[in-house]
Each structure stands twice: as structure tokens, then as C-alpha cells.
């Protein structure tokens, strides 16, 4: 199956957006998951609800909210452009941001479940042996959380690859600039004679999603088994 330059461009952009969205959101996802799993504070339920809002809100609403915040005439957008020279709206970086927001709840949930499964007695033992809390987190908590961290990252990547509504609302559908696989598919089914190319993109999307889900499951199992053997 040979791909056209149009299809290759959409595939390359989707991979770039997916990788960038996961890499940039992973530290925030870990921090949010740790906060929800390990701390009690006023408004915790509200924070939890806000983090999971992208799961229930229409994606176009999320995209419009991002446009209001980060558009060139938005709340934060003018400052980003004037101070840092960063433009998010109608740019692939904005597509990565939209994908990261939509995938964030999946990332946080996977890491949070893994954190809650960590035996707190192991952390307490390390503390009694004189390790600092930072060292305990880096050498005990984080390795034991690695399966969930890895699974969440891959699931977030797969979700980013399939993002459509928030992306098209925030960065539009610009070939070679913001047109990811879902947006390219949308363009193809709107034009006569685009069925064959749309079918190829469908196959590519299904294969990438299946590979991501399989990799998430297999790597998480292997890492969990390795950690269990080393315990």
C-alpha cells in the first residue's frame, strides 16, 4: 500500500503531535495523579472533576475554550506571542496542546491507579532507613508506578492520534500544518474520489491504535512482572 505525499504528511504530523503531547503532558499528569492519590486538601473532588472534564465535554467545546485562551486575541495568546514568540492557534503546537488536553484524563487515571497500588510500607521502610522523601519517590515510588506510567503514556498517545473535534476547533484543518490523520480523513470524505485514500487512512489509524494498545498492555505486564521478580 503506497501512500501519497498528502497522506504521508498527515501521518508524520499525527506522530509528531502525538509524541509532543505525551512528552509535554507527562510531568503534569504525574504531578496531578500524585496529588489526587496521596494528598487530602479542600476542593480535591472539584480538582478531580475538572481534570476529567474532557472525557464528558464535547471536544469542540474544549477546542473553543483553548481558542479563547490561547488565540492571538485570546486571554493568554497575545502575551505568549509578544513575550515568547509562541503561536498556538492554527499551528501544529496548538494541535499538540489540544490532543494533550483531551488525553490528559486517561494519563492521570492510569498513573493514579498505579500510585494507589504501591505498598506504602515500602516507602515507610525507606524513610526509616534515612532516605529523603525525594529519594524515596525517585527510587521506590516511581519505579513501582512505572507500569501505570507507561500504560498511561501509550494510551494518551493513542488518544492524541485520534483527536479531531478539539483540534479542528482550535487550529483548523490546514494541510501540512495542522492536518492530522483524522482531519485528513475528514477532508477526503468531503471530496469526490477521495474514498480510496480515506480507506487507506482508516487502515493506518486502526493499525496504529491497535499497536499502541497492544504495546501498552504487553509493556505494562512485562514491567510489572520484572518489578515483582525483583521484590
pLDDT digits 0-9 by tens, 169-181: 999 988 888 899 9
Regions of the chain where pLDDT drops below 50: none
DSSP annotation of 36: H
**Residue-level pLDDT at 1:** 54
Q: Read off the C-alpha cell for 99.
A: 490532543
State the pLDDT at residue 93: 92
Q: Which residues of 75-107 are buried (b: 16+ CB within 10 A; e: fewer)?
A: eebeebeeeeeeebbbbbbbbbbbbbbbbbbbb
What is the extent of the structural domain holding 81? 5-230
- 137 vs 79, 105, 116, 122, CA distance in Å? 36, 22, 14, 11
Output the domain CATH number for residue 216: 1.10.3720.10
Q: What is the b/e burial string over 112-146, where b = at least 16 CB atoms within 10 angstroms of the residue's CB?
A: bbbbeebeeeebeebeeeebeeeebbeebbebbbb
pLDDT at 2: 66
Residue in the structure block whose three cell numbers are 480510496? 196
Q: What span, in angstroms and rounded, lies between the C-alpha atoms of 4 and 200?
A: 10
Give pLDDT, residue 162: 87
Cβ atoms within 10 A of the Cβ of 32, count? 21
pLDDT digits 0-9 by tens, 67-107: 999 988 889 989 988 888 888 988 999 999 999 999 999 99
Provide the domain count of the chain: 1
pTM (2 decimals)?
Answer: 0.86
Amino acid at each position: 500500500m503506497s501512500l501519497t505525499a498528502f497522506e504521508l504528511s498527515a501521518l508524520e504530523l499525527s506522530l509528531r503531535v502525538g509524541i509532543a503531547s505525551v512528552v509535554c503532558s507527562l510531568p503534569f499528569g504525574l504531578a496531578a495523579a500524585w496529588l489526587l492519590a496521596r494528598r487530602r486538601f479542600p476542593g480535591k473532588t472539584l480538582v478531580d472533576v475538572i481534570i476529567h472534564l474532557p472525557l464528558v465535554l464535547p471536544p469542540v467545546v474544549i477546542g473553543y475554550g483553548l481558542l479563547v485562551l490561547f488565540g492571538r486575541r485570546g486571554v493568554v495568546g497575545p502575551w505568549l506571542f509578544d513575550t515568547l514568540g509562541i503561536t498556538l492557534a492554527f499551528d501544529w503546537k496548538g494541535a499538540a496542546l489540544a490532543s494533550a488536553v483531551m488525553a490528559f484524563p486517561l494519563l492521570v487515571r492510569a498513573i493514579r491507579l498505579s500510585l494507589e497500588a504501591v505498598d506504602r510500607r515500602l516507602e515507610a521502610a525507606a524513610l526509616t532507613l534515612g532516605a529523603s522523601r525525594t529519594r524515596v519517590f525517585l527510587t521506590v515510588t516511581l519505579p513501582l508506578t512505572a507500569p501505570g506510567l507507561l500504560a498511561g503514556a501509550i494510551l494518551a498517545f493513542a488518544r492524541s492520534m485520534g483527536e479531531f473535534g478539539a483540534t479542528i476547533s482550535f487550529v483548523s484543518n490546514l494541510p501540512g500544518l495542522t492536518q492530522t490523520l483524522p482531519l485528513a480523513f475528514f477532508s477526503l470524505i468531503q471530496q469526490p474520489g477521495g474514498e480510496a485514500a480515506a480507506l487507506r487512512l482508516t487502515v493506518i489509524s486502526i493499525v496504529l491504535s491497535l499497536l499502541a494498545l497492544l504495546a501498552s498492555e504487553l509493556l505494562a505486564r512485562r514491567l510489572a512482572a520484572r518489578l515483582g521478580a525483583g521484590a
